[in-house]
Structure formats: structure tokens, C-alpha cells
Amino acid sequence: MVNEKYMRQLERIFKKGKDNSVKVSFFDLPMVEEIIEEKISQELFQKPRAFYEGLSNLENYTPEQPVIEATLRPYQEQGYKWLHYMQDNQLGGCLADDMGLGKTLQTITLLADVYKKDVNTPSLIIMPKSLLYNWQREVKKFAPKLSTYIFHGNDRDLEAALKVNLIFYNLLYC
């Protein structure tokens, strides 16, 4: 059943324009905000709202940074916070910065944090074949405690693959 009070509020606020568009008076905006706040505060929206508010306030989000052999630049710290926040909320993410800005380091920092909590969590990093050994070197350089496994060639060891796995795109099609 539709709430009559709610319907009256909507009718008062949203007016039909001549071209079938919806018009809202500037003076009704506080009421629109009140209706939105009322609906968002309902239990159904609490988790998405908390996520959005957290995402909007990442400068106040302070995850413990794991021990790595590097100092993150401010924009890398921001990228790490974003990745960590997405991880905390069981969501994926994609860093899409320009080349050379430290996406690899930000990802290694996140992996160091993940493995600090649970060393049995396998990870999969997919890249062009030409970058496999570069990634392995970078992980060893910045997070020497992390163990990598290049999943390539005929002698693949599935037992050894229970760590940070580095594979290239073409292997996904096999």
C-alpha cells in the first residue's frame, strides 16, 4: 500500500511541465532533501550509504600501512587507501593511473597488508607476458617477505601457486 502522506509530498514537489518534463521549485529543495534523507535512513539503504560516506571521506580513512621497502608518495598513499577501502568492503577495483605513477607499488602494498593478515590467501595478478619478471623483481624489492610464483611454462606447480601468482593474459584463454 502506498503511503498517502508520501504521495501528497511528491505531488506537491514534482510538477509536470508543458513538454512532459518534471519541474521542481528551488524552494522545494529542502523538502526533497528531507524525503531523500528519510528514505535513505531506512534499513535497506544503511550499508550502501555507509559505504558511500566512507568513500567520500577517504582522507579520514587510515588503514595501517604494512612494512614495505618504500615510502609512498601522497597520491600513491591515496591510491592505496582507496584499494584498501575497496578490499575492506569486499569489492574489487581498478587502478588506472598513467604509466610510471606507482600502480605496481600501490598493489604490492595492498598485497603486503593482505598477506600480513592471512598468509594462505592466494592472489592473481594478470599482466602482459613481458612484465612477469619485472613484477617478480618489484615484489622482492618492496615486499621481500611476499612470495611470488610465475604461473608459466610446462612445469606448473599447483602447490606453489598458493601465493602471489603472476600470469599473463594469454594463459587465461588456455
The phi and psi torsions of 20 (rounded to 5 degrees) equal 65, 15
Task: Report whether 83 contacts 95 (CB < 8 A).
Answer: yes
pLDDT value, residue 14: 80
Domain boundaries, the chain: 4-41, 54-173
H-assigned helices in 14-72:
29-40, 46-56
The phi and psi torsions of 18 (rounded to 5 degrees) equal -60, -35
Each residue's pLDDT tens digit, 90-142? 888 888 888 899 999 999 999 999 888 877 778 889 999 999 999 999 999 99
pTM: predicted TM-score of the whole model, two decimal places:
0.70
Task: Report whether 140 contacts 147 (CB < 8 A).
Answer: no
Which residue has cell 532533501? 33
Each residue's pLDDT tens digit, 73-83? 999 999 999 99
Could you tell me which residue, 19 or 1, shows the higher pLDDT?
A: 19
- Please give the angle made by the CA atoms of 96, 100 and 104, to the nearest 5 degrees: 65
Q: Which of 149, 126, 120, 123 is nearest to 136 (CA)?
A: 149
HSE-CB at 33 with a 13 A cutoff on CA atoms is: 6
- How many CB atoms lie under 10 A from the CB of residue 100? 7
Q: What percent of the chain has pLDDT over 70?
A: 90
Q: Choose which CATH entry (3.40.50.10810, 3.30.230.10, 3.30.70.2660, 3.40.50.2020) describes domain 54-173.
A: 3.40.50.10810
Q: Beta strands of the chain (E only): which ranges? A: 14-16, 22-24, 123-127, 148-150, 164-168
pLDDT value, residue 57: 86
In the predicted structure, residue 40 carries a pLDDT above the cut 70: no
Looking at the DSSP bridge assignments, the partners of residue 23 are 15
